[in-house]
Structure 1
């Protein structure tokens, strides 16, 4: 098994296209004697949005044994409320349709920086732009996601849009349906109603080693041999945190998406 950090990052790159970082749970020392049931996997992933499930699928593809923890009883994050559009410059789907846009990765990068008014992290923005096509091709070829291509979005007025298509509406719900189906094929365990409450660490070096979760049965611990991925979204449905981080106007905006993304 030869799984590099770059390989995992490539699998999870889509997370940076769709989600923000959540406030981290408290960290507990693994040195403390535990009385809770423990479960060990190669990788522990908190959050069943697009970032979490894609990371799990990519990890399984590379021979790892991941587990996904979700605080709700189903995939209830912002992904299932989204339109399901994703952007690419020169994907195989665009090529098959004969689209000749004259688009480039550099133009994509420049447009993303314009959208952020120059506030986007240049290195991360370029990473997304340079890996967008490979990610979309992977989702199509390996996961089985079907796309409609060629539509022009308001910004930018280029044919980058790839709309997830299928029976489910909106497209984000259909995208999650494809991903959950692939996860089932790969026998990736998804633990529902498992709310992460603490990160566990190695007291010798501070390395995060696992997650303590609260379930209907009580507390349990999930240990990740290779670590933990936090993919729990942001805090868009938490008025208190929005007020603290972005001000009252942001807190008063209607929630567009899931009301369970609260950043705890």
Structure 2
């Protein structure tokens, strides 16, 4: 198998429970099973859409892959090797250099008291990609240009409240790119943006995926976005993976109830196949 077809990140039987702080009649703690036995793989240069309604567990899956949450059980493999941190912050930092996350709400994920320069320079310094002030400035400007924030000099000293929603999300994307990752976990990256700019952000992510050979996990409740952006799809329902495969066949053979929040197609994202 060639390197390009080998999985770069694999999840095997991931399970996540959250305690409810209550006890049942037998004295055992009550838990909610947020994710049960989730297994899938991500590949360089390909996007896998993880589709499901709110509360289906899809964001929990991404946060386990990012190691924001520790799985209750199951295994995560990076380049074929099980991920084991054993409490090591250095090992966690190394892993996160390869695996970055783009959050749903760009305003909440950016610190309002810090400038764009700060948000982009911090991962450059933390991961050793820039050292001098000149290197930092040059790379921050380059990152802004990569996400189509130009002229970059007009954005570098701005604060989140001075940017539009689409501009904030571009900064969040640039921050993820600053670590030079191989895997990007995008959690509903366009759901909070105006309809008029969603397609621009999806096209930006698609370009970066192709140029950098990034492996994408694209979380969404919108089937139209999944069809447009991803090559493969996984469908979650009530914490379980219920379907997977190429995008169009997977949606056409679903035999679970899809709520209106998932089945609504946004016309701006529908493109001709001709």
TM-score, structure 1 normalization = 0.26
**Which has the higher relative contact order, 1 or 2, with Cα contacts under 8 A spaced 6 or more apart?**
1
Q: Which has the higher helix share?
A: 2
TM-score, structure 2 normalization = 0.25
Q: Which has the higher strand share?
A: 2
